[in-house]
Amino acid sequence: MAEQPQPILTPEEELLAKLDRESAYRRLTGKWAMAMMFMGIGLALFHIYTAAYLPFPPQLQRAPHLAIALGMIFILYPARRGDLRNHVPWYDALLAVVGLAACFYQVIFYEDLILRSGINTPLDFIVGSITVFMVLEATRRVAGWPMVIVAATFLAYALFGGVLPGLFSHRGYSVTRLLEQTSLGIEGIFGVPLGVSATVIFVYLLFAQFLEKTGIRQLFIDVAMALTGWSPGGPAKVAVISSALEGTISGSSIANTAGSGSFTIPMMKKIGYRPEFAAAVEASASTGGQIMPPIMGAAAFVMVEFLNIPYIEIAKAAAIPALLYFTGVFIMVHFEARRTGLKGLPRETLPKLKDVILKKGYLFIPLILIFYLMDVGYSPSKAAIYAMVVAWAFGMLKKETRMGPKEILKTFEEAARAALPVIAACATAGIIVGVVSLTGIGLKLSANLVDMAGGSTMIALIFTMIASLVLGMGIPTTANYIVQATMAAPALIKLGLAPISAHLFVFYFGILADITPPVALAVYTGAAIARSDPWKTGIEAVKLALAAFLVPFIFAFSPSLVLVDATPLGIIQMVITSVTGMVALGAGVSGFWSTKLQWWERLLLPLAGILLIDPGLLTDLIGAGIVVVVFVSQFMRNRKEATLAA
């Protein structure tokens, strides 16, 4: 049979397929497309049922979740990246069947495996070996080699660590003991990370798909245009605000950059922004979306299991740091616009905020509903189901967003496809967690990190930041968080950090890796749209997010920012000083405040910014004093220039 030609992709699809492995899947037609639709719909219905009622026992919940995901991955994702022909080779079809069978083995023989727990048969070990291989190969296809290499290194460590000297030495484990830990129980592949994916993450991805069908993305852009489109450098500020809002329903910085960037980046270039700066603005803003509640990155749901607290508490704790992140980027954009004399868009061409809210404001209700339901005690998954139904009902109000049975089933399939990379990452992360638990390396490394830091919290935080950024260059945010939550977070807690502060710290920097050169995928995506140099764009992105890089250190040393032992007055004071510090830092980096800064002002303002961001009365007073001195200097110089001009 002749091969089908490669399908025609939209520019956005081509860009994502080139830069983002998760988007480099086959666009199938015919029987294979029908098979994927059937499996995707089945996966969605399975999760809706268990979310609306109660999840099955762990293995019965997680095994079908992974089984269907593996089947879909081997059909959709080619063995060789870039081979997106409309054709599924026989070996991928075989791998799909084997992956399904290996995971459903846990379901078919569930009772038998429970009854003889710890007494495994040769067939158990064969199936376990196949499961490990299938998970690693599926992860390679959707996430690339780095995460597979990390997991393989941990597996090798479990087998051969007994011959290693010093810190890394352990008793050594056989292949059969390793398989028991990683693939035959609920400690490894079928452990906590996959459990969170199977019970919570999938349902939120499904809710996000329904919400997007209502047209909420356009609402975000309209609100941002109405609020800031008219101000200096308005389109760049639109990118910041719309990406912050879009982050409430999306956990992918790359998809955010490609989606909203295709609109905002050309608009920024049109009014005079340099291509590198325009791309950096969108990449920085889109990356911050993963820390924006209520739907943060998938790792935030895994954090629930590590901290054993409700998700709503994590979302509340992340709210102020998220707002500070976007405030920092917004300030940098504003000063760049003032420095270069960029104007906004004509007011008459922009939507009016009142009209936007009256016409489409009801679309915010599902997001508000999720917060409310979780706050009054509903589980995250059940809250998402109710909010999804409300989003569907609102979509029915307009013909262009109305979803009948056919559109609903299509949305189920799209949610399943969006979940595949997360499922693979969580399964592979489970291998890592299983080895860490088996060998005790997590406790050893945690203690060693404390020793290396000499008991200094700041040094330990810097080490952790570097490790998170480096890991984030090669592995997805969820896996990065799991590794760091296992290795580094316990050390930070041992040094006195509040648990929520330690976990948000590693989560935060794992996300910032998407804009940190040399491997900064959100930056590459923005640069491709802007046709700018990726390296220069990455430097601009780091400068834009410079103040935001300091936010995790703020809540590390002052946990009231993440609502630990917080008082309303204390929070207000900290937010005011932090924002003032960001203004000072932004002005110093850009070289402009109310007018061009002199050399000594450019030196003093960043210092003032750091002092104000650092919690403490003395540092706040010194920082505020420097800001006042520079402000007076700027005011006098502006007054003198105005007098001379007159």
Q: What is the DSSP string of 401-420?
A: G---HHHHHHHHHHHHHHHH
Alpha-carbon span 55 to 65, nearest angstrom: 12
Residue 267 CB coordination number (10 Å): 18
- Which tokens belong to 578? 């932090």
Supply φ then ψ for residue 596, to 5 degrees: -60, 135
The 10 Å CB-count burial string (b at 16+, else e) for 614-625 is bbeeebbebbbe
Residue 484, classified by CB atoms within 10 Å of its CB into exposed (0-12), middle (13-18) or buried (19+), is buried
Residue 68, classified by CB atoms within 10 Å of its CB into exposed (0-12), middle (13-18) or buried (19+), is buried
What integer pLDDT is reported at residue 7 of this predicted model?
Answer: 60
Alpha-carbon span 382 to 207, nearest angstrom: 11
- Cα angle: 539, vertex 545, 546; to 5 degrees: 85
The residue extents of the domains of the chain are 11-193, 197-563, 567-646
Alpha-carbon span 36 to 26, nearest angstrom: 11
Alpha-carbon span 577 to 560, nearest angstrom: 14
Half-sphere exposure of 390 (CA within 13 A, CB side): 16
How many Å from the N-terminal Cα to the C-terminal Cα in the chain? 83
Task: Give CA torsion, residues 247, 251, 255, 261, to 10 deg.
Answer: 20
Q: What is the DSSP string of 479-491?
A: HHHHHHHHHTHHH
Alpha-carbon span 289 to 294, nearest angstrom: 10
Residue 553 CB coordination number (10 Å): 20
Contact between 425 and 143 (Cβ < 8 Å): yes
The SS3 assignment for 596 reads strand
Best CA proximity match to 27, nearest among 9, 53, 52, 46:
9
Contact between 501 and 556 (Cβ < 8 Å): yes
Supply φ then ψ for residue 592, to 5 degrees: -150, 140
Q: What is the DSSP string of 279-323?
A: HHHHHHHHHHGGGSSSS--HHHHHHHHHHTS-HHHHHHHHHHHHH
Q: What is the DSSP string of 444-512?
A: HHHHHHHHHTTT-HHHHHHHHHHHHHHHHTTS-HHHHHHHHHHHTHHHHHHTT--HHHHHHHHHHHHHH
Residue 30 gets the label, from left (phi > 0), alpha (psi -120 to 50) or beta, of left
Mean pLDDT (10-residue bins), the chain, 646 residues = 56 67 81 96 95 88 97 94 79 97 95 84 95 97 90 94 84 92 91 92 91 88 91 86 75 75 85 88 86 82 91 91 88 86 85 92 91 90 93 91 93 94 93 92 85 89 91 82 91 94 93 83 88 90 83 88 87 85 88 88 90 80 92 88 74
How far is it between the farthest Cα atoms of the chain? 93
Residue 311, classified by CB atoms within 10 Å of its CB into exposed (0-12), middle (13-18) or buried (19+), is buried
Q: Which residues pair with 552 in a beta bridge?
A: none
pLDDT in tens, 411-452: 999 999 999 999 999 999 999 999 999 998 888 888 888 888
Q: Which residue pairs from 362-365 have beta carbons closer than 8 angstroms and sit at least 24 positions apart in sequence?
A: 362/394, 362/397, 363/211, 363/214, 363/215, 363/216, 363/219, 363/391, 363/394, 364/216, 364/219, 365/390, 365/394
Best CA proximity match to 376, nearest among 312, 289, 325:
312
Q: What is the DSSP string of 216-268?
A: HHHHHHHHHHHHHTTSTTHHHHHHHHHHHHHTTT---HHHHHHHHHHHHHHHH
The SS3 assignment for 385 reads helix
Task: Give CA torsion, residues 156, 157, 158, 162, to 10 deg.
Answer: 120
Angle of the 405-439 helix axis to the 122-143 helix axis, nearest 10:
120
Q: Which residues pair with 592 in a beta bridge?
A: 596
Whole-model pTM over 0.85: yes
Radius of gyration, alpha carbons of the chain: 25
Best CA proximity match to 521, nearest among 513, 532, 510, 509:
513
The SS3 assignment for 592 reads strand
User: CB within 8 A of 299, min separation 6: which ones?
Assistant: 477, 478, 480, 481, 482, 507, 510
The SS3 assignment for 41 reads helix
Q: Which residues pair with 596 in a beta bridge?
A: 592
Alpha-carbon span 637 to 626, nearest angstrom: 17
Contact between 10 and 89 (Cβ < 8 Å): no
